């Protein structure tokens, strides 16, 4: 039995269009591949050590010590909850609703009653940074929160921290979550606090997600019910609405998430799953189409990965993957429908093993459930037999 498994999701770090990318307007998207094409001397030596160069179009002669391959998403959509839920062993057949033309007026009337708000600004699909530039000054004058969405199934509420304090904004989001049912079962309500003055508004790290509760039997559920730890780092607790989580550690950015992961790697009392999300790739660089920033964040993770690998014991395992793509070279500002990488390492694994293209993200959840001797998750096929020594 494995004692500790570390599962790290590099949010949005996809590796090439899925066969159905045309249905999502994402033909040709390739987050990692296009970053590699646009960065001179692209080099991620520790990720290459695990085999990243075997699954993206980059030349490197490193002999991998890890397990490597790609995974396909079967869930409908390309959003954070469906990606994470599928990683955890549940394929989502019905997509969460999206609102490219804004939310219907009857829903917003219900929202005003539920939250006590007298009005709102926005109500359209927009970039979060752009909409506070556009409406931030009016928000300061009226006190009305800024309501907006994106190509994802999200109900986002932005407010200046001096106009609507963070805890009050969280309360508004909680009440919003309660009314989003039935046809409006939106994937996430997201609190988007900001500070500053007109022309100089800045979003803070007090973002908080209020997600739909996932179904029973997913990986976090299964591991917790087996009596073991399920430690959530970053926004994992929010994505799963606390389901199956035994301990949650909030982090504001990749730096804090990486530091927390390294601290947990030093804790040999942990017995179970450490589930990490590193959000900056997506939030700061993918949506903002910032190739250089995205690559810099990859380098920062790669530098820390060397220390992570040194701390993995024979009864531990490390898995690295993503939940969708967000190609910073692609049109628009939205997620992209892509394969995701799967990289893994343990002294108890075989070395330099290509597991190919897995048909679903859920294969990873099923593999981890088997390794932790937990109840099998609903979907997916374990590949543990392929990678164990």
Say which residue the tokens 């609102």 belong to: 99
pLDDT per residue over 258-288, tens digit each?
A: 999 999 999 999 999 999 999 999 999 999 9
What global pTM score does this model have? 0.91
For the chain, the domains span 4-93+212-387, 105-211
Q: Does residue 152 register a pLDDT over 90?
A: no
The confidence band for 95, taking pLDDT boundaries of 50, 70 and 90, is: confident
pLDDT of residue 307: 98
Q: Give the CATH superfamily of 105-211.
A: Phosphopentomutase (3.30.70.1250)
The reply to whether domains 4-93+212-387 and 105-211 share a CATH topology is no
pLDDT per residue over 324-369, tens digit each?
A: 999 999 999 899 999 999 999 999 999 999 999 999 999 999 999 9
pLDDT per residue over 121-133, tens digit each?
A: 999 999 899 999 9
Q: Does residue 94 register a pLDDT over 90?
A: no
Give me the CATH topology for the region 4-93+212-387.
Alkaline Phosphatase, subunit A (3.40.720)
CA atoms 57, 13, 317, 216: torsion sign? negative
Please state, rounded to an integer, the average pLDDT across all residues of the chain. 96
Q: Does residue 22 register a pLDDT over 90?
A: yes
């Amino acid at each position: 039995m494995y004692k500790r498994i570390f599962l790290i999701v590099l949010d949005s770090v996809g590796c090439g269009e899925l066969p159905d990318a045309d249905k999502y307007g994402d033909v040709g998207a390739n987050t990692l591949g296009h970053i590699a094409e646009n960065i001179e001397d692209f080099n991620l030596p520790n990720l290459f050590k695990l085999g990243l160069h075997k699954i993206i179009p980059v030349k490197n002669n490193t002999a991998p010590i890890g397990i490597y391959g790609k995974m396909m998403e079967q869930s409908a959509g390309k959003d954070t909850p469906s990606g994470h839920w599928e990683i955890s062993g549940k394929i989502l057949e019905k997509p969460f609703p999206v609102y490219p033309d804004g939310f219907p007026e009857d829903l917003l009337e219900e929202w005003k009653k539920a939250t006590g708000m007298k009005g709102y600004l926005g109500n359209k699909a927009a970039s979060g940074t752009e909409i506070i530039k556009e409406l931030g000054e009016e928000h300061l004058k009226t006190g009305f929160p800024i309501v907006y969405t994106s190509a994802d199934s999200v109900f986002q509420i932005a407010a200046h921290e001096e106009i609507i304090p963070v805890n009050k904004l969280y309360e508004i989001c909680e009440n919003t979550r309660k009314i989003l049912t039935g046809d409006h079962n939106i994937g996430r309500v997201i609190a988007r606090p900001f500070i500053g003055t007109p022309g100089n508004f800045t979003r803070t790290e007090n973002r908080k997600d209020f997600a739909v509760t996932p179904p029973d039997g997913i990986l976090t559920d299964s591991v917790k019910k087996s009596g073991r730890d399920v430690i959530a780092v970053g926004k994992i607790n929010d994505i799963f609405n606390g389901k199956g989580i035994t301990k949650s550690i909030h982090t504001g950015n990749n730096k804090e998430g990486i530091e927390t992961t390294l601290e947990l790697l030093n804790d040999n009392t942990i017995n179970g799953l450490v589930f990490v999300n590193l959000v900056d790739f997506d939030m700061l660089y993918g949506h903002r189409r910032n190739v250089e920033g995205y690559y810099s964040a990859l380098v920062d993770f790669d530098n820390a990965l060397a220390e992570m690998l040194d701390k993995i014991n024979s009864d531990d395992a490390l898995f690295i993957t993503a939940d969708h793509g967000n190609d910073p070279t692609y049109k628009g500002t939205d997620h992209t429908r892509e394969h995701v990488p799967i990289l893994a390492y343990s002294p108890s694994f075989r070395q330099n093993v290509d597991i190919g293209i897995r048909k679903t993200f859920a294969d990873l959840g099923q593999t981890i459930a088997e390794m932790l001797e937990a109840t099998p998750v609903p979907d997916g096929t374990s590949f543990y037999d392929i990678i164990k020594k």
